[in-house]
Structure formats: structure tokens, C-alpha cells
Chains A and B, each alone.
Chain A
Amino acid sequence: MEAVYQWLLAPFLDFAFMQRALSGSLLLSLASCPVGVFLMLRRMSLTGDAMAHGILPGAAAGFLLFGLQIVPMTIGGLIAGMVVALGSGAVARFTVQKEDASMAAFYLISLAVGVLIVSLRGSSVDLMHVLFGTVLALNDAALTLIGLITVVTLISLAIFWRALVAECMDPLFLRSVSKLGTPVHFIFLALVVLNLVGGFQALGTLLSVGLMMLPAAAARFWTVRVEPMCLLATVIGMASCVSGLLLSYHFSLPSGPAIILSAGVVYIASILVGSRGVLGTRNRPSRHRTA
């Protein structure tokens, strides 16, 4: 009993920085895992990745002007992310080019600008900090920000749920009964940016997308309905945060990669043993029904 306590609870009970890290990352899972499910279902999994790069110049500009501070870096990241999301979304909606190409173009430009800005002032250590985050050093401002982002995301998802599902399932149908299709697409892209920005405090721009996509990708192997899929992804995300932080604490590992790798383990396990995974579908059943 004592060992279990020492292993699982003591780190969070004894250290304020661990409590902050835990609450920050759990809040983040609550919002970004359902967003990740929709990203995956819209076949935009890599868009999250691209968008995470797109945030960099804004965050870097904030860093250049105000140093390593949460608020300016976040606002900068938000602006850069929105420009990339709305710009590439608009090109895809209103020209012949598809979203994958326009997104690639916009994020590459954005990433180049970002690296340029970082190099103007910082050393490569600073760049590492921007890219990989510091979940163990979340301050009050950062926690408040993550909390706000979570609330905004969950409320938006609740309001636009039906439109978002319709837009994913049958976009042409939605266009024939409502004018919400295009607005809902952009609202969704805005939520993606918001959550990536929320995540980059804790995990960095590169890994924040991991907490979004890996739980969603894992949940896909377990259920055939979108509501349980979102719930399951959130649970997987939260479990990965707890496990990642504990691993980080006990083995002195960097916290961001530890969280993402925990989710990665769940993903690989789901591929294998999930009800719609390899073993579930490859294994020929020994018996079948007559109808």
C-alpha cells in the first residue's frame, strides 16, 4: 500500500509544481482530445501538426519582444496560428487547391519566419524551450489561460456539435439545408489553433499536437460512434498525462515526451487489441451466424 502511495500519489500531494502540471495537462486533455477526434475524422490529422509549426513565428515574436513570458507568446502564437488556419482554409474553400497543399504552403512559410525570428535573438536553447515546452514550470497566468481555452472549447463544441458532425459526415447535405458549413469549418480551425496554443505552454509546439492526435487515433480502434470516441479519447489523454508526469518524476525524464510516449503506448496497444484493431479484425472467428 505504502509503495503504491509513494509511487502514484505522493508526487502530486507533496509538490505544488506537480499539482500545477497535473491540473494544466488534465484541463488541456479535456478540450484538445475531442478536437483531435474531429481532426482525425476530417482526415486532417497532419493539419494539426502543420498548424503547430505555424504557431511558431507568433510565439517567437512574443519571445523576442517580451522574453520568456506566457501571455505575449500565447497571443503571438494565436495570431500566427489564425493567419495560417484562416489563410489556408480560405484558399482551400474558395480556390481549386485542396487543404493539404495550401496548409503545407502556409505553415512552411510560417515556420521559416519563426526560425528566423528566434535566431535573431536566442540561442538554440531558447528554440528548444519554445519547441518542447515546460509542463513542470506552469505559472498562474499559464494555468488560467489553459482553463479559459478549455472552457471556450467545450462551450463551442457543445453549441456547434450537430453542425460539426454534419459537416464531417455529409458536407454537401449540410450545405443544402443550412449556411453553417463554412462558418463551422473556420470555427473548428480556430479551436484547433486555440488548443495548440494552450498546449504549447505545457508541451511545446511540437508535442502539443501529440496530446491532440494520439488519444483520438487510439480511440478510433475501440468504438463506432463519435460521442463515445470523444469521451474515450479524453480519458486516454488524461491517463497519459498522469502516467507521463509520474514517469517524468520518478525517472527524471522530460515531462512533455513522457506524456506523449504514454499516449503512444496506448495507441500501439489499441492497434493490437482494440475491438476494431488488428487482433479483433484479423482473427477469423471460428463460428459465424446464419444471418
Chain B
Amino acid sequence: MAEACITFSDLTLGYNNHPAVHHLTGTVAKGSLTAIVGANGSGKSTLMKGIVGVLKPIAGHVSVKSGNRIAYLPQQSELDRSFPARVVDLVSLGLWPQRGLLGRHRKEDGEAVSRALVAVGLEGFEKRPLDTLSGGQLQRALFARVLVQDADLILLDEPFNAIDMKTLSDLIALIKRWHQESRTILVVAHDFDLVREHFPEALLLARQPIAWGDARKTLAPENLLRARQFHEAWDESAPWCGPDATHDHAGGEHHHHHDEHHASNAIRQGAA
């Protein structure tokens, strides 16, 4: 078993007491490349926020092995595109982990930024104001920032949305390069074919983990069918989840469910 980079122990994340990620247990191995898949509202982005630490768990723990630098590309970037800045200024934000608040930006930092821009195909865009970029160009610039961050753990939340084929294949190539450099990468994606083709591992979420392990096995039809059967809406009268509620008749079925998921999860991980 490879060294763990992220460990989830009975992790529940959510909003207003309603779980969005429910009882997730398992580890993400160091150097692994995992796709996180599932329907809208199945908890993919929430899981990412939990790993970064932007969202605190309702129950359980998530721990990232110390010494791992995290780079996080959120689905809904809070980037203010009207901010008066150039592409280099945006990408240079990625120097924060190395230089922090007061560290001087050195010559090699500038070179790292230039290399990153070349790597994402944005050579010659250095001085362009942010508000003149197209959606795909902005996404490339954000990838360049992730490159500059030089992180050990890279979290990409739906990086392939609204992107043309050329940009897509460039971004996939970058992800593969990171994988070869044995960085740990988690990517939220919706395109199953793309996941089967490019990702060794996958985690299928439907609030509870449905399957986790080898990407092709995880995306098998019976798992996808089960993933589709979850109710996205919150139930205000849903029973409380926890040891006190186990004997509650109404909660019986609910618990039955995730015991089953725990079991299947364990099996599939063993198989992977």
C-alpha cells in the first residue's frame, strides 16, 4: 500500500446540518491521479473544500499529510476579472507558497512564471489585462498559476467546463505531467469517457461514496445506476444520523443504506 496523502475518517461535510458528503472513509495514495465523479449536488466540490480546509467537517476528520503543499482551483473562482491586473500578476499569485507576504520575488520566480505561461500556451499574453481574456484563456492562466504553485497535492474542481478540444487536451497533458512528477491529483470531472481514458482511479459520489478504486470498475453500469438513485434535495424531516438514532425505526432504512455503502466501499478499495 502506497503512502497516504489524504486520509478521510468517517468524514461528513455539509451545510446547516445536512450532509453533502456523508461518512467517507478511505485514503488517497501519494502520487495517485483520481477523478471524482457524481451527479450535480453529489458532494464533489464540497469534498474539495473540506480537503482545502475552507469548509470544516460536521463530523469525522480529513487530514492531509503534513508537508504537502496544496494547490486548489475552485469551480467557481472568486477571481475578480475587472481587477486592474495583467496575466503575469494573476499567475504570480502562485508564488505565494514560496515567497509569502514579504519575500522578494526573485529573478528565477519571474522565469518560473514565464515557463508556466509557455506550458499552458499563453506565451505573449503576459501584459494582457485580465478582462480581455476569453474563458478558455482564463482557465489556462489559472492552470499556469497552479503550475507556479509547485504543489504536492493538486485539487482541480471541474477544470474542463466550457473548454475547447485543444485546450482540453493541453490541460490533460499538463495533468499527466504532474502525475509523472508523482504529485497527488484529484480532479472533479463529468465526462465518463474522459475519466476512463485518462484517470487510473475514480471516486464515485452520491453524497455517500458509491465506489472507489480503479476508474473503469468504479464507472461500471451498476455503480452508475446506484449513484443515480440518490435524492439530491434536503429532507428537513430526515432523521438525525448517529448512534442514538440507530434504533429509530424511521432511520432504519437510511442506516441500512450507508452500512451497505461502507461495505461496498471497503470491498472496492481492496480490489483496486
Contact = CB atoms under 8 A, between A and B. Distances in A.
A177 interface: yes
A170 interface: yes
A168 B96 contact: no
B39 interface: no
Contacts of A225: 84-86, 89
A224 B96 contact: no
A169 B93 contact: yes
A169 B85 contact: yes
A219 to B, nearest CB: 10
Nearest to B100: A178
A170 to B, nearest CB: 5
Contacts of B102: 159, 162
A226 B78 contact: no
Interface string A156-174: 0001101101101111111
Contact of B93 (A160, A170, A223, A224): A170
A198 B16 CA distance: 43
Interface in B36-90: 52, 54, 70-72, 74, 77-80, 83-86, 89-90
Contact of A166 (B54, B86, B96, B97): B96
A224 B78 contact: no
B129 interface: yes
B183 to A, nearest CB: 16
Chain A's interface size range is 20 to 34
A110 to B, nearest CB: 29
Interface in B19-35: none
A224 B80 contact: no
Contacts of A159: 101-102
Nearest to B103: A162
A170 B84 contact: no
A168 B97 contact: no
A224 B101 contact: no
A169 B83 contact: yes
A172 B78 contact: yes
B93 A173 contact: yes
A172 B85 contact: no
A160 to B, nearest CB: 7
Contacts of B90: 169-170
A110 B119 CA distance: 54
Given A159-B102, A163-B101, A172 B96 contact: no
Interface in A216-233: 220, 223-226, 229
Given A169-B90, A172-B54, A176-B72, A41 B101 contact: no
Given A160-B101, A163-B101, A223-B84, A173 B79 contact: yes
A175 interface: yes
B85 A226 contact: yes
A15 B213 CA distance: 82
Contacts of B79: 169-170, 173
A178 B99 CA distance: 12
Chain B CB within 10 A, most for which of A166, A172, A220: A172
Contacts of B72: 173, 176
A256 to B, nearest CB: 29
Nearest to A225: B84
A173 B74 CA distance: 8
A155 interface: no
Contacts of A168: 80, 83
B80 to A, nearest CB: 6
A177 B72 CA distance: 9
B87 to A, nearest CB: 12
A220 B129 CA distance: 14
B196 to A, nearest CB: 29
A265 B153 CA distance: 52
A13 interface: no
Contacts of B145: 173
Nearest to B85: A169
A69 to B, nearest CB: 39
Interface string A192-234: 0000000000000000000000000000100111100100000
A220 B90 CA distance: 19
A41 B131 CA distance: 14
Nearest to B145: A173
A253 interface: no
A290 to B, nearest CB: 15
B86 A169 contact: no
Among B71, B86, B96: residue with most chain A CB under 10 A: B96
Given A170-B77, A175-B54, A177-B70, 14 more contacts: A162-B96, A165-B89, A168-B83, A170-B78, A170-B80, A171-B78, A172-B54, A173-B78, A173-B79, A176-B54, A176-B70, A177-B149, A220-B84, A225-B86
11 contacts: A162-B96, A162-B102, A169-B93, A173-B79, A173-B145, A176-B54, A176-B70, A177-B70, A177-B96, A220-B84, A224-B86
Interface of A: 41, 159-160, 162-163, 165-166, 168-178, 180, 220, 223-226, 229
